[in-house]
Amino acid sequence: MVTKRIIPCLDVKDGRVVKGIQFEGLRDAGDPVALAKYYDEQGADELVFLDISASHEGRATMVDVVRETAKALAIPFTVGGGIRTVEDIERILRAGADKVSVNTAALDNPSLLTEGAKKFGAQCIVIAIDAKYSEEDQTWMVYTHGGRNKTTWAVVDWAKEATRLGAGEILLTSMNRDGEKSGFDLAVTRAVREAVTVPVIASGGAGSAEDFYQVLTGDVQADAALAASIFHYKETSVAEVKSYLRNKGVDIR
């Protein structure tokens, strides 16, 4: 049985952790280094750090903040936002990240996935997919630039193509559920999980420990589940979620 992972996410803007609803209405949630230390102590399996405005603003990720956050951690650490070249990937890995997450840049330049995987290994390359259901297309579509721009890619098709190109993991965020605390989008997670052979991290919608159970088990079987709001604002903790899952028989670290 594959061990499931619980992953807090730090959405960082202007050097501070923020959180909104459906990518809008951001409010301050604290200092990234302090929160990273807290989640490490709480027993988080990994941490994701997303510089959420870097791609939209056309600038590089905040390397200094990444370096300081990495120093505070003993767990694997994924960084995304503003990574556009192989040189960017190398700079972030040298700053202390274990993996990089790419979204907008991979759609603009798909060879980035192939080149990154070839140089650093597929396990270092995470494709971040922001998914939103489109009534017009009758399926989930991929969005870029922090959820601002709709692409012509259906989510499942892009997930298959991105992993074929070299991505070793998928970070799948449901924009419809982001910050809503109404539960993960089980349908889109299941669809992507069935379409690929690499690990899938479910993101968007966590509101309770039961939500984690539903997305990690049954016919969905995400490999990991990511959350922000409920952890940042102490509505529950990583330790409480993991305890709940263990009691339900889920294989958790």
Which region among 20-29, 47-56, 194-203 has the lowest average model confidence (pLDDT)? 20-29
Supply 65's token pair.
Answer: 């903040």
Q: What is the pLDDT of residues 41-60, one digit of tens each?
A: 999 999 999 887 654 555 45
Domain annotation covers residue 140: yes
Q: Has residue 97 got a pLDDT over 80?
A: yes
Domain annotation covers residue 115: yes
Q: What is the pLDDT of residues 62-75, one digit of tens each?
A: 788 889 889 989 99
Domain annotation covers residue 152: yes
Active-site hit among 11, 51, 88, 185: 11
Domain annotation covers residue 34: yes
Are 16 and 31 a contacting pair, CB within 8 Å?
yes
Q: What is the CATH number of the domain that holds 144?
A: 3.20.20.70
Q: What is the pLDDT of residues 146-197, one digit of tens each?
A: 678 999 999 999 999 999 999 999 999 999 888 778 999 999 999 999 999 9
Q: How far is Cα 57 from Cα 172, in angstroms, rounded to an integer?
A: 22
Nearest alpha-carbon partner for 161 in 114, 91, 230, 226: 114
Helices (H) and strands (E) in the chain, counts: 11, 12
Q: Is 11 among the catalytic positions?
A: yes
Burial category of 176 from C-beta neighbours within 10 Å (exposed 0-12, middle 13-18, buried 19 and up):
middle
Question: Can you give the residue range of the structural domain that contains 203?
Answer: 5-247
- pLDDT value, residue 207: 95
Give me the helix-helix angle, 186-195 and 155-165, nearest 10°: 40
Domain annotation covers residue 134: yes
Active-site hit among 31, 45, 130, 185: 130
Domain annotation covers residue 207: yes
Q: Has residue 110 got a pLDDT over 50?
A: yes
Domain annotation covers residue 237: yes
- pLDDT value, residue 59: 47
Give me the helix-helix angle, 86-94 and 63-71, nearest 10°: 40
Nearest alpha-carbon partner for 86 in 75, 74, 94, 78: 94
Please name the residue that has the structure tokens 């597929």. 122
Secondary element (H or E) of residue 51: strand 47-51
DSSP class of 223: S
Q: Enumerate the β-bridge partners of residue 4.
A: 252
Q: How many domains does the chain have?
A: 1
Q: What is the pLDDT of residues 129-139, one digit of tens each?
A: 999 999 999 99
- pLDDT value, residue 23: 45
Domain annotation covers residue 253: no
